[in-house]
Amino acid sequence: MRNKISRALAVVAALGVALPLPAGTASASPGRDKRGVFTNTAGQVEYEVHLPPGYQPDRPLPVVVAVHGCSMTGFGDNSMRDTTRFNEVADAKGFIVVYPTQDRARNAKGCWNWDKPEHQHRGGGEPSLVTGATQDVIQRYHADPKRVHVAGASSGAGMAVILAVTYPDVYASAVSLAGGEYAFDKVLENPLLVSPVDTAKLAYAEMGPRARQLPVMVVQGTDDRTVPALMADRLVEHWAAIDDLAVDGKLDGDVDDKPDATEQVAKPGEHPYTRTSYTARDGGAPLIEKYLVKGMEHKWPGGGTGLFADPMGPDITAIIWDFFATRHLP
């Protein structure tokens, strides 16, 4: 068992493998797409912005930052844009989408360097680049700064968690699909001794005076051979501890990882899934939601086109937006 856990966690460090990339698929959305580049001392990040048809500068819209995984791009070949179909949902619901793309000079496989300490802190590395691009979009397109959210897949999911920890004053909520916890490099060093609570304490320390309870959705496939399903359980325990610490700096049960509600969903033509939700002791909307999708591999369910798109539902993109739509910064 010791070797099995160690091997499983080691595989997650890469969160994706180098694969041949197909030609990109142009978005058929009726909205408008814009390109941008953000640069700071950490380097630069290119991004694409999708504006829905109803966009008007005097009408502040929510923002979703969609962070791709390894062997992907934000808006080029095998893109997060085409995999997730976020543009379609944005056009129907009225929000802006941002697709940052990793610089291959920082990672040859196109992975975000979520497992490296230099990219886990506020004010530097890749978190500062993605957040800088996010803030550029907020300012340039007059978006609503209290309704900015981040969703990531694979290594992008690891980065989404890091962004939520390092910039909880920017991102109202976060989604991790096939990702891991903050400071995962510490887990890799000693997977049997470093618990999700240990890494939660590091996350809480990184949040500093900005620490708050931040809503998170965790999505995981049961048949994922790149990121084992146990990672979803770790991430729930991890974030429950962060939300607990955010109240008073103590692990005293303000939030825990015991499900408050469980729902089994099976629709024709879709992967069945189990949805569990976790609510603070004082009540309110769920702080954590977990979707465990039966039979799903390392894919985006209900996706469009690309190596990591699973055409079978559930339509996780629409579900993610429903989660984001009710959350905002305090």
- What average pLDDT does this structure show over 268-282? 97
3-state secondary structure of 238: helix
- What average pLDDT does this structure show over 301-327? 97
d(CA 265, CA 273): 5
The mean pLDDT value of the chain amounts to 92
Q: Which fold has domain 2-325?
A: Rossmann fold (3.40.50)
**Residue 3: predicted pLDDT:** 46
Hey, what amino acid is at 93?
A: K
**Residue 13: predicted pLDDT:** 43
Instruction: Write out pLDDT tens, residues 18-30.
Output: 222 222 333 344 6
Share of the chain above pLDDT 90, in %: 89
Instruction: Write out pLDDT tens, residues 214-242.
Output: 999 999 999 999 999 999 999 999 999 99
**Residue 30: predicted pLDDT:** 65
Instruction: Write out pLDDT tens, residues 87-104.
Output: 999 999 999 999 999 999
Residue ranges per domain, the chain? 2-325
Query: Looking only at Cα atoms, what is the longest distance across the chain?
Result: 58
Q: Is the pLDDT of residue 139 over 80?
A: yes
d(CA 24, CA 75): 8
In this prediction, residue 191 has a pLDDT band, given cuts at 50, 70 and 90, of confident
* Polymer length of the chain: 330
